[in-house]
A and B are shown apart, each in its own frame.
Chain A
Amino acid sequence: MNINLTLFGQTFAFIVFVWFCMKLVWPPIMAALDERKKKIADGLAEAERGFKQQELSEKNAEKKLSEARQQASDILSQAQKRSNEIVEDAKSIAVEEGNRIKEAAHAEVEKEVNRAKEQLRNQVSVIAVAGAERILKKEINAASHQDILDELATQI
């Protein structure tokens, strides 16, 4: 418990140790700690930025989506209109075509009827002439009675 040289020995050791700590221990540890602090701060900032980015892209996507929806509905309504038009067109064409065919058929029928009538007339005139021949029991000149036959034919 005597105060002696140990006092200064310890002071000297103290100075040396503090010096060593100050030169070789504290700075590298602090540097690493600061670097990590910076890294963490950077990471957080990065995360923040990423979050903002995500929000932005989400908004963007939302906009694009609604645009696309709008476009789709436009296209749909246009198509509807177009299809209606096409159907209308087709209808009118079909009606026209039908009318044409009907008319053609009518004409054909009329022609056939007329032809049949003609044939009938001819046959009737032949039969009439034969009938008359048989009635008159004599040869009648068909040519000289042509006008009468024609008249008959028109009456049938």
Chain B
Amino acid sequence: MAGDTLTSTEYIQHHLTNWTYGKYPDGHWGFAHSSAEATDMGFWAIHVDSMLWSILLGTLFLLMFHKAAKSMTAGTPRGLQNFVEWVVDFVNENVRSSFTAKNDLVAPLSLTIFFWVFLMNFMDLVPVDWIPLAAKWVGATLFGADPHHVYFKVVPTTDPNITFGMALGIFVLMLYYSIKIKGIGGFFGELALQPFGKWGMPANLLLEGISLISKPISLALRLFGNLYAGEMIFILIALLYSGGFVWGTIGGVLQLGWSIFHILIILLQAFIFMVLTIVYLDMAHQHH
């Protein structure tokens, strides 16, 4: 599967490059034809594939849950409603056990995070070449693009922009609620007066500042790292398919094993992302 003329390195690199639309250094906007071009675009570029899948999956999640929500009955639940209730109950249980303050935002936020991240992670279980190959075919035949320049990453959570984007939203919420609940003075006091008292203010600020910043960063990096590594292994396994029958068979077995193990990881990572969000927001709501 490594492709007709691609080397292993090129194959891997191709799989790790996003479909990028951005501003070239010379000022005009367009799709990047290589990862080097994408890098050159700097900040003014957008990963079309990440955004596409992210929004697609988020919309799928909302449509599904909204459909169930519209036809909710208090009677005996069936089919979709049953599943949705199960998920909602699970999330609600977690919010209740970890979040002590009263806030109507946290539970729906947690539900969105959990299911959306789960769906985005889930794309990792789709064999790594299926969708990119389909995209390559569509790009080459319908749009006349050079097949080697059609990049298509399917798992949004392997894109740090996606995980950091969500962590950024959560970080803003943490700051907002910290200030809203404790006031600017209270929040600043929390950062500056612990743990060494007022004479150790610079050290306090440094320590607490790092601990504050590290929350969203660790949140985003954990999800990204797990999924990126998982996808990497899938790509490496997929490389085996080009090694003939024996290697291909070994690859098949490995892929099956890793996929089964990965089911655990994608669920776990979605869950951890949700629980940490709840815990961080709970901390933002508490006076110390």
Chain A interface residues (CB < 8 Å from chain B): 1-11, 13-15, 17-18, 20-22, 24-26, 28-33, 35-36, 39
Chain B interface residues (CB < 8 Å from chain A): 16, 18, 20, 22, 38-39, 41-47, 50-51, 54-55, 58, 61-62, 65-66, 68-70, 72-75, 84-85, 88-89, 92, 104-105, 107-109, 111-112, 116, 156, 159-162, 164-166, 168-169
| Main SS class of interface, B | helix
Residues on the A chain within 8 Å of B165, using CB: 6-11, 13-14
* Contact A32 B65, beta carbon cutoff 8 Å: no
Residues on the B chain within 8 Å of A9, using CB: 46, 51, 161, 165
The residue among A7, A13, A24, A35 with the most chain B CB atoms within 10 A of its own CB is: A7
* Contact B168 A11, beta carbon cutoff 8 Å: yes
Residues on the B chain within 8 Å of A2, using CB: 20, 38-39, 41-42, 45, 161
Looking across the interface, which residue of chain A has its beta carbon closest to that of B170?
A14
The residue among A4, A11, A30, A36 with the most chain B CB atoms within 10 A of its own CB is: A4
* Contact B47 A4, beta carbon cutoff 8 Å: yes
- CB A53 to nearest CB in B, in angstroms, measures 26
29 contacts between A and B (CB under 8 A): A1-B159, A2-B20, A4-B20, A6-B46, A6-B50, A10-B50, A10-B51, A10-B161, A10-B162, A14-B112, A14-B165, A17-B61, A20-B62, A21-B65, A21-B109, A21-B111, A21-B112, A22-B104, A22-B108, A24-B66, A25-B66, A26-B88, A26-B111, A28-B70, A29-B84, A29-B85, A30-B88, A32-B72, A39-B74
Complex: how many Å from CA A152 to CA B109? 151
